[in-house]
A and B are shown apart, each in its own frame.
Chain A
């Protein structure tokens, strides 16, 4: 029996989900996402969230601190998986919420929602560890291909995972991209997921090897050309949780506190209210142990990630 609420409750506890259940979940999600456009329209009030990276417990904190899915609307800017221990649970939880409350949550694709990147950065290995085969990874990758590329809040805030592209002058142009594919190595779709804002005068090569660096001028031009006030994006670790740039024309929102369980940063989400005012909620990482010393997070990691 496919009982969404029960699956949600299991996921929230980080419990194992049967392969067939994941299959069904992914199939249903695909059908739902298929009908969304590349750039989804979302109304205020809404909470915009940055990278999650498999930090399930911190994702639960995020919902707790920002009203919860039962009461509020959310946009997630991508990078649900990789790096943390609970990529699968985090991603599936968001999919379940999407199925359960389709109008209350928008999921945008991040540069980690691809076959190639998840093979290097942990999601694939996590699935092999948890299931002994890669089926579940394949089901999830199929869903990745259907995630939106962006969202627009009240015709005023443009949401995207990475940033701008020299191939995308207007938001309308994004609508004509054929998004249902693995993220290409170049072109508009790649740039939207990979680019970074920086102190540059013009489009410049990104040190990441994909996407571009863009500066204040590119941002101002994009804003005025498209009649929007703000670009909300994620993609880059910000130690303070968020960072506004270019006369507040762009903001980076980062929602994975103590990233990779070692960076020591705080996380943030951005709420856009009906009057388009912005407010940030800052939150900290879940402690690895609770007050009575019971483990919440496993500290024995599959990999050693300090230089010893």
Chain B
């Protein structure tokens, strides 16, 4: 099971690369203008090149469907990536550049957000957490990528250590094991520093019990913070079969389970996972409908989106949830 879950990272990366390749990402008005990201495409292409040196198999997996990616998928990847980036940026700029702050990217996989964020926020510390299978690959790929290695000021790993630097840590850990998680996080984070936690398509692979314990522990352990989460929801209306079909498809095609898809199957139930925190949640279709006309026009020019109905069905089943606690 662990391996099957770990492999989903290559799907997420593949989608992101495809959205970059087709020009959806980076978004000039959001990621460039608002978030001040630089070299977004180059960072990803460099990383993919590094990945090729680490494992041809994984590289092949990630780049295989580049040419033939469907617009619905690219729109969805765009929505998810941009929503999280905007939120992180909003929080970070509110906290201010001279405040110490830390980001925990739980199940971060091959996410490369740390690169632009560490560049833009000098007092930020970024911690990536994932299964050791994932972190090993990421560590090697980062080391193989000269630009990223130098930018992140990575220290040469000894033996089977992972790359690290003063501001970036890569932690191998099973988030289902709370003991292990708390010990490992304690070594590299400070409970008194404002903390931003990201779970982008991660909680959905955990059991209800493990995920709720993880949430509860972290929001109590860190004095103040924000939690930004993105996940699928199964759907709760009477005739909605999206979730059960999704579970069956993922089970049949790759043995992948999403244990809580039908438990937290609505926005309300999903948001409730973070109770008693102040939480707001939107589905991705709502977010899609807030994109300004100019940006929509740009997106449309990239690939012809032939219908909206399917996009709506998909995107109403994914949510973006943000919670806050303490004084930040």
Bitwise interface map of A from 244 to 281 toward B, beta carbon under 8 Å scored 1, else 0: 00000000000000111111100000000000000000
Question: From DSSP, what is the main secondary structure of chain A's interface residues?
Answer: loop
* Cβ contacts under 8 Å, A122 to chain B: 68, 70
Q: Is B277 an interface residue (CB 8 A)?
A: no
Complex alpha-carbon distance, A304 and B306, angstroms = 19
* Cβ contacts under 8 Å, A299 to chain B: 249, 252-253
Stretch at the interface among A66-74, A113-121, A137-145, A219-227: A113-121
Complex alpha-carbon distance, A306 and B12, angstroms = 10
B25: min CB distance to chain A, Å: 14
B300 touches A263 (CB 8 A): no
Residue of B70, B73, B240, B307 with most partner-chain A CB within 10 A? B307
- Within 8 Å by CB of A307, from B239, B241, B313, B318, lies B318
A305 touches B70 (CB 8 A): yes
Complex alpha-carbon distance, A121 and B65, angstroms = 13
Q: Is A288 an interface residue (CB 8 A)?
A: yes
* Cβ contacts under 8 Å, A208 to chain B: 305-308
B249 touches A121 (CB 8 A): no
Residues 275-315 (chain B) with a chain A CB within 8 angstroms: 300, 303-310, 313-314
- Within 8 Å by CB of B240, from A236, A264, A289, A305, lies A264
Bitwise interface map of A from 175 to 213 toward B, beta carbon under 8 Å scored 1, else 0: 000000000000000000000000000000001110000
Q: Is A112 an interface residue (CB 8 A)?
A: yes
Q: If A208-B308, A237-B307, A263-B310 touch, does A308 touch B70 (CB 8 Å cutoff)?
A: no
B68: min CB distance to chain A, Å: 5
A308 touches B253 (CB 8 A): no
B309 touches A236 (CB 8 A): yes
Complex alpha-carbon distance, A275 and B56, angstroms = 66
* Cβ contacts under 8 Å, A111 to chain B: 306
Q: If A301-B253, A305-B70, A305-B73 touch, does A264 touch B245 (CB 8 Å cutoff)?
A: yes
* Cβ contacts under 8 Å, B11 to chain A: 304, 308
- Within 8 Å by CB of B71, from A120, A260, A263, A288, lies A120
Total interface residues on B, CB under 8 Å, equals 42
Complex alpha-carbon distance, A308 and B246, angstroms = 11
* Cβ contacts under 8 Å, A262 to chain B: 242, 245-246, 249, 314
Q: Is B250 an interface residue (CB 8 A)?
A: yes
Complex alpha-carbon distance, A122 and B68, angstroms = 8
Q: Is B15 an interface residue (CB 8 A)?
A: yes
- Within 8 Å by CB of A112, from B71, B76, B305, B306, lies B306
B313: min CB distance to chain A, Å: 5
Which residue numbers of A lie inside 8 Å of B, CB to CB?
Answer: 111-112, 116-117, 120-122, 125, 207-209, 236-237, 239-240, 258-264, 288-289, 299-308
Further pairs besides A122-B68, A237-B313, A305-B70: 10, Cβ < 8 Å: A117-B304, A121-B306, A122-B70, A209-B300, A237-B307, A258-B245, A259-B310, A263-B310, A299-B249, A308-B201
Which residue numbers of B lie inside 8 Å of A, CB to CB?
Answer: 8, 11-12, 14-15, 65, 68-73, 76-77, 80, 201, 232, 239-242, 244-246, 248-250, 252-253, 256, 300, 303-310, 313-314, 318
